[in-house]
Chain A
Amino acid sequence: MNSLRLRAAIVSIVLFAAFIGVWHLATRSTGPAVNMSPEYAKLMGLTATQGKSAMPGPLDVGAKLWEHLRRPFYDNGPNDKGLGIQLAYSIGRVGLGYLIAVSVAIPLGFLIGMSPLISRALDPFIQVLKPISPLAWMPLALYTIKDSSISAIFVIFICSVWPMLLNTAFGVAGVRKEWINVARTLEVGTVRRAFTVILPAAAPTILTGMRISIGIAWLVIVAAEMLVGGTGIGYFVWNEWNNLSITNVIIAILMIGIVGMLLDQILARFTRMVTFPE
Chain B
Amino acid sequence: MTDKFISIEGIARRYPGAGGGTTTVFENLWLSMARGEFGCVIGHSGCGKTTVLNILAGLDEPSEGAVIVDGQAIEGTSLDRAVIFQSHALLPWRTVLGNVAYAVSSKWRKWDRAKVKAHAQKFIDLVGLTGSEHKRPSELSGGMKQRVGIARALSITPKIMLMDEPFSALDALTRGTLQDEVRRICLETGQTAFMITHDVDEAIYLADKIFLMTNGPGAVLAEIVENPLPKDRGRIDLHRHPYYYALRNHIIDFLVSRSKSFAAITTDHDPRNVPTLRPGLPELAIASDAELPTQTSWPGLSRPSTSS
Across the interface, which residues of B come within 8 angstroms of A181, CB to CB? 59, 83, 85, 89
> Does B103 sit at the interface, judged by CB under 8 A?
yes
Flag if A186 contacts B57 (CB, 8 Å).
Answer: no
Nearest-CB distance from A174 to chain B (Å)? 14
From 222 to 278 in chain A, residues with beta carbon under 8 angstroms from any chain B beta carbon are 274, 276-278
Nearest-CB distance from B280 to chain A (Å)? 39
> Does B266 sit at the interface, judged by CB under 8 A?
no
Flag if B92 contacts A178 (CB, 8 Å).
Answer: no
> Does B136 sit at the interface, judged by CB under 8 A?
yes
Known pairs A178-B89, A200-B93, A276-B92; A187 contacts B106 (CB<8 A): yes
> Does B295 sit at the interface, judged by CB under 8 A?
no
With A and B bound together, what is the CA distance between A187 and B102 in angstroms? 11
From 175 to 221 in chain A, residues with beta carbon under 8 angstroms from any chain B beta carbon are 176, 178-179, 181-182, 184-188, 196-197, 200-201
With A and B bound together, what is the CA distance between A259 and B84 in angstroms? 49
Known pairs A186-B103, A187-B79, A277-B138; A179 contacts B91 (CB<8 A): yes
Across the interface, which residues of A come within 8 angstroms of B57, CB to CB? 185
Nearest-CB distance from A53 to chain B (Å)? 56
Interface size of B in residues (CB-CB distance below 8 Å)? 24
Nearest-CB distance from B219 to chain A (Å)? 23
Nearest-CB distance from A191 to chain B (Å)? 13
Flag if B156 contacts A277 (CB, 8 Å).
Answer: no
Flag if A187 contacts B89 (CB, 8 Å).
Answer: no
Flag if B77 contacts A187 (CB, 8 Å).
Answer: yes
> Does B6 sit at the interface, judged by CB under 8 A?
no
Across the interface, which residues of B come within 8 angstroms of A187, CB to CB? 77-79, 106
Q: Which of A179, A185, A276, A277 is within 8 Å of B83, CB to CB?
A: A185
Across the interface, which residues of A come within 8 angstroms of B93, CB to CB? 200-201, 274, 276
Nearest-CB distance from A82 to chain B (Å)? 44
Flag if B156 contacts A182 (CB, 8 Å).
Answer: no
In the complex, residue of chain A having the shortest beta-carbon distance to the beta carbon of B156? A186
Flag if A184 contacts B92 (CB, 8 Å).
Answer: no
Across the interface, which residues of A come within 8 angstroms of B137, CB to CB? 278
Looking at chain B's contact residues, is the secondary structure mostly helix, strand, loop, or mixed? loop
Chain A interface bracket (under 10, 10 to 19, 20 to 34, 35 or more): 10 to 19
In the complex, residue of chain A having the shortest beta-carbon distance to the beta carbon of B57? A185
Q: How many A-B Cβ pairs are below 8 Å?
A: 56
Nearest-CB distance from A85 to chain B (Å)? 41
With A and B bound together, what is the CA distance between A188 and B82 in angstroms? 13
Across the interface, which residues of B come within 8 angstroms of A184, CB to CB? 58-59, 76-77
Interface string of B106-136 (1 = CB under 8 A from A): 1100000000000000000000000000001
Across the interface, which residues of B come within 8 angstroms of A197, CB to CB? 91
Across the interface, which residues of A come within 8 angstroms of B81, CB to CB? 185
Across the interface, which residues of A come within 8 angstroms of B87, CB to CB? 178
Across the interface, which residues of A come within 8 angstroms of B92, CB to CB? 276-278
Nearest-CB distance from A71 to chain B (Å)? 47
With A and B bound together, what is the CA distance between A195 and B284 in angstroms? 60
Flag if A186 contacts B79 (CB, 8 Å).
Answer: yes
With A and B bound together, what is the CA distance between A16 and B64 in angstroms? 74
Indicate the member of A181, A182, A274, A278 with the most B CB atoms within 10 Å: A182
With A and B bound together, what is the CA distance between A140 and B85 in angstroms? 54
Flag if A188 contacts B106 (CB, 8 Å).
Answer: yes
Nearest-CB distance from A21 to chain B (Å)? 48
Across the interface, which residues of A come within 8 angstroms of B156, CB to CB? 186
17 residue pairs of the A-B complex, CB under 8 angstroms, read A176-B89, A179-B91, A181-B85, A182-B85, A182-B91, A184-B59, A185-B58, A185-B59, A185-B81, A185-B82, A186-B102, A186-B106, A187-B79, A197-B91, A201-B91, A277-B92, A278-B138
Residues of A within 8 A of B (CB): 176, 178-179, 181-182, 184-188, 196-197, 200-201, 274, 276-278
What would 9 more interface pairs be, CB under 8 Å, given A185-B81, A187-B78, A200-B91? A179-B91, A181-B59, A181-B89, A184-B77, A185-B79, A186-B77, A186-B106, A187-B79, A197-B91
Closest 9 A-B residue pairs measured CB to CB? A178-B89, A277-B138, A186-B106, A276-B93, A276-B92, A200-B93, A184-B77, A185-B77, A185-B83
